Amino acid sequence: MTTDRTVVVTGATGRQGGATARRLLAAGRPVRALVRDTAAPAAAALERAGAELVRGDFDDPASLPAALEGAAALFAVPPVAFGPDGLDTERELTRGRALADAASAAGIGHVVFTGVASTPGQPGGSESKRRIEERLRERIRSVTVLRPVRFMSNYLGSALTGLDGIVDGVHRHIFPADEPVQIIAVEDIAEFAALALDRSDLFAGRSLELAGDALTPAEAAAAISEATGVPVRYERITRAGAAALHPEIARVREDWEAGSRWHADIEVLRVIHPGLRTLADWLAESGTAALRERLRESGRRTG
C-alpha cells in the first residue's frame, strides 16, 4: 500500500469508519479522522493508534474544508441523520452533498463511498444514498462505491430500537426466518476500502456489492446460540411493526416480500479478497466475545 498519501476517514468512531481507519493505520497509511468530538473515547483510541484527529461536522459545512485540506483521498461513510420520527433522509442528502462539495473544493483525488446494497429497481439501496453517489461522481474525478449488505456486527445492536440486536434472547428483523439473507463483517468492508484506496487505477468508477455470507435468520440465530451458549431465537417483525419503526423500513419489508433481494456475488468477491469472512469466522474472531458481553449486559438490565 502507498504510505505517503493521507486519507480522511469520516464516521471514524463508528463501525465502518473505525474498521477502515484501523486497517489503513495498520498498513502504515496516514489517516486523518473526521470526528465531532476529539475528546470522545473512540476518537482518543484512534489517536493513540496513530490517527490525526480533526473536528468536523456535516451540519456545519464551514468545518469541512480545513479537515480535508491537503488530503489525497476520502473514505466517506453515509452521513445518516435521525430526527424525532427516525431516519431523516433529506438531512442525510444535505450532509452528503456538503461533503462532496467540500471534497471537490479541497482537490480530493479519490473518494471511496460506502453506501447500501442495491436491490432490483433500487440501485444504491435508497434514494438519498443514490443521489449522494451522483453528487460525488459529478464533483470528484475518481470515485469507488462500496455497497455492503447488513453487517454481522448488527447482532450487537443497531441505531433503531426494535430492529436488529438481540433483546431478551430474541433477534428481530424484517426478513422471513427460512430464507437466506446476505451479511458482511465491517472488517471486510475495510479490506475492500483499503484495496480501492491503494489501487484507484483499478477501482475508479466501480461499484461493488459486498457480502461475505448468506444464512437464514433462523440458521444465524442457531449459530449464535451455539457459539455463545445463550439460547437465541429469531422473530420476524410484522408489517405494522415495520411501519411503526419508519416508513423506509416498511418499504424495504414490502419490497422483500415481493422478491427484491441483495445480490452480491460472494464467490467473485472471495477471489478479490480471499480472507472474506463467513459468520462462523466473525464469531470465532470477535463476535462471540462481544455478543456474550452484550447478552450479559442485557441480562443485568432485566434481572
Tens digits of per-residue pLDDT, 262-285? Answer: 999 999 999 999 999 999 999 999
Per-residue model confidence (pLDDT) at position 61: 93
Per-residue model confidence (pLDDT) at position 187: 98
Per-residue model confidence (pLDDT) at position 35: 94
d(CA 181, CA 13): 27
Per-residue model confidence (pLDDT) at position 1: 41
Domain 7-149+185-210+262-276 has CATH 1.10.287.3240: no
* 75-129 per-position pLDDT tens digit: 999 777 666 666 677 888 899 999 999 999 999 999 999 998 988 877 766 778 8
Domain positions in the chain: 7-149+185-210+262-276
pLDDT of 209 strictly over 50: yes
* 132-161 per-position pLDDT tens digit: 999 999 999 999 999 999 999 999 987 667
Which residues, in sequence order, are CB contacts of 198 under 8 Å at separation 6+?
1, 2
